[in-house]
Amino acid sequence: MSPTPEKPYFALQFEKTGAIVGLHNIRSGKCVLMPNPKNMKTLYALPAPLYRPGAPLRVLSGRLLGDGSLQYCQLTLQSLCAAEIRKVTVAVQPLDKDGRPLGLELPHRYLTKAARDDCFGDKELLTLPLDGAAAFRVRVLRVDFAEGEAWQNDGALSPMPAQPSLEESYGDNELAEQFRIRYGRDCKRSLLATEDLWLCTCEAVNRESEASCHRCHRVRSALENVSADALRDESESRARKEPLRLAESKRENRALVKKLLLGAAIVLPILILILGLLTAVPRELERKNVYEGAQWLAGVGEFDAAREAFASLGEYRDSQEMAGVGLDYMHASELMLRAQQDDPSALQMAGHTRADLDDSNSAATLLYEAAQKEFEALGDYRNSAELAQQCAEGLEAGRKALVQASYDRAAALLEAGQLSAARQAYLALGAEEEAKEPAYRKAQALTAFIQRYNIRGVYAQLSMEPGDMNLFSMSKDTALTLGSQSVADLLASCGQDPVDLQLEDAPAAGMVPLDQAVIALIGTLGDYRDSAALLSSIADATDYTHEFFTLCENGDIYGAYEWLLRYEGNFESRDAWLHDLETYMPYCASWNLYLGDSTVIPLTLGRDGSCMSFRSRVLLQNGVATLRLTDSSGEYSVDLYADQGADRFSNVVDDSAHYLVVITNSGHLSYLRYRSGGKLVSSCEYEPVQ
């Protein structure tokens, strides 16, 4: 037996920054250096972020690195979905300098816990087994989520267009600055729509179905409709007012106050400064400086500090008014201005946080609502009543915009095939009529399936509740009979709603035949659109007895009899039909004259002649049995009639020509002619051709 090798002992080797640079084997004294991207040369970088429509993430960046001996690939991935990503499988294809594949495609798996917007993967290096790579391409093969679901796609990723900065978009730094003044300092770039995404001005990536940014909650339609002319007017107005504002007070004292106030982080240092000024300069100058300082505090949003400063001045100028309703008016005006800009950074002024933003509340609506209440509390102070009305109008417009955005989201869900989610979204809006459309589309698709395929043996349990599974069941034999394409069509009929197919000999409890499940779904729609026509289509498509009645109508009594014997489904009055078919079977044959007057049968259409032979069959339709006699050429025929179930056929031409046909006990066909009153004129008898 070979001796058990000694277990090696390892120690990690760190650099000064704390990063691991090597693994040291204490027994052998050898140290294996770990690859460090900082010491490598970048040989190639992806030109832009890569994305594929519908993908839950994008490749934010990628580099080909080399340290002189080996080559590595380093990727940075970014999650674009709300569900937590746990595992991502990618495939990297090294390329030579001419862009041709170099070696095999290399799979790599990332383990993570990435929420939306999180980036990951940049700490891992994928070692390339071959050197000489000049570039690479990458595919995302599979994404696994925390809830157990997965996304798969073998398609290629495409570069995303660059998102221009505000300065690049407007070609004017002043317009870009005015954009930020109106919409917020975190606005860096112009809105960009690409594929099924749109990139907000805050650089967050949103889905096409999202009407507002998931990060900053700015409304997309508002950002798309920004007027450059309006920005220019606002910028020019700001530029004109700036010199006037700077010239309103004494430069030296104001510059000193501003410098001290701008450096203050809390209100207390500002108050200490004001008290210091009161004791450092003449009384009148002190009060003037404090007044101007209070105005500046109010101008930068420090209303509580400004109120204290105004209150400390007593009866100086309008300090008492400013300490009360004046500052309240300024506060309400600032809220209104920020509401017009839909600025979420001002929510704290109204006692809200970003957590209060949802589908029913935007920054604009919350700020307008707060401003309206404050203006209404001011009564007839200045133009408060007029501004309160403007806030009310802005609030109503904002709410309408939110409702429209919700309708747009519901419509986007509907078009994306998320039928149950779309229905729920419409119901949340109180749009009960629109909420019927998703169910109608599912019913319409399933009706088309029923019309196309024989669904006997297919069962279902359908739902229009978000998250509920739509279940289908059939036996393996039924699935094989229908074919793989039919199974794919069946599952696709539910759009993107959860769906599952169970191959079972017997359906589970709660499942009903597919046509009954669809009829029940249509029943929830009332008279919506052509629901009645859908019901009629299902009834026609599932009438499996149609073939039988067609055979009866065409006179194929033997074929109808065999069909009914084989049919395993429910058939109304089966025994009565079998009896009738057995009654009429003897009438379906070919006949030769046995004896009697061969001219009784008028097969010559008015011409005198003998009828030596003919064929006969019985046609059953609408409760009437028609005995049709046809000559050998098929050119002429004679019909006699009976109520279905009767075994005698007759026809009345006129008072002198009453015809009767019966099958005798000997199996012969007897054809008789009577006058009115029942007097027999002539007759003949035919025997069946063996």
Residue 264's alpha-carbon distances to 201, 246, 273, 306, in angstroms, are 31, 21, 10, 14
Residue 210's alpha-carbon distances to 52, 215, 403, 571, 683, in angstroms, are 18, 11, 13, 54, 88
Residues paired with residue 206 on neighbouring β-strands, in sequence order: 198
Average pLDDT over residues 654-673: 90
C-beta of residue 368 within 8 angstroms of C-beta of residue 398: yes
SS3 string, 606-646, reads: CCCCCCCEEEEEEEEECCEEEEEEECCCCCCEEEEEEECCC
Does residue 310 or residue 642 have the better pLDDT? 642
Does residue 299 or residue 548 have the better pLDDT? 548
Name the 3-class secondary structure at 100: coil
Average pLDDT over residues 222-246: 75
Domain 38-159 CATH class label: mainly beta
For 53-72, b where at least 16 C-beta lie within 10 A, e where not — what string? eebbbbbbbbbbbbeeeebb
What is the tens place of the pLDDT at every residue in 499-508?
Answer: 999 999 999 9
Domains of the chain, residue spans: 38-159, 166-229, 248-403, 436-541, 557-688
pLDDT band at 9 (very low <50, low <70, confident <90, very high): very low
Amino acid at residue number 670: S
Instruction: Identify which of 565, 458, 583 has the alpha carbon closest to the alpha carbon of residue 511.
Output: 458
Average pLDDT over residues 324-348: 87
Spatial distance between the Cα atoms of 497 and 460, rounded to a whole number of angstroms: 14
Residue 290: the pLDDT is 80
Lowest mean pLDDT, pick from 30-44, 146-160, 267-281, 302-316:
267-281
**C-alpha gyration radius of the chain:** 44
Q: Which CATH fold topology does 557-688 show?
A: Lipocalin (2.40.128)
CATH topology agreement for domains 38-159 and 557-688:
no
- Report pTM: 0.44
What is the tens place of the pLDDT at every residue in 404-449?
Answer: 989 999 999 999 999 999 999 999 999 999 999 999 999 999 999 9
**Residue 246, pLDDT above cutoff 60:** no
Residue 276: the pLDDT is 57
Lowest mean pLDDT, pick from 20-34, 200-214, 352-366:
20-34
Spatial distance between the Cα atoms of 506 and 508, rounded to a whole number of angstroms: 7
**Residue 640, pLDDT above cutoff 50:** yes
C-beta of residue 647 within 8 angstroms of C-beta of residue 668: no
- The whole-chain average pLDDT of the chain stands at 85
Instruction: Identify which of 619, 615, 616 has the alpha carbon closest to the alpha carbon of residue 556.
Output: 619
Instruction: Identify which of 318, 296, 315, 314 has the alpha carbon closest to the alpha carbon of residue 381.
Output: 318
Q: Angle between the 436-452 and 384-415 helix axes, to the nearest 10 degrees?
A: 10
Name the 3-class secondary structure at 141: strand
**Residue 130, pLDDT above cutoff 80:** no
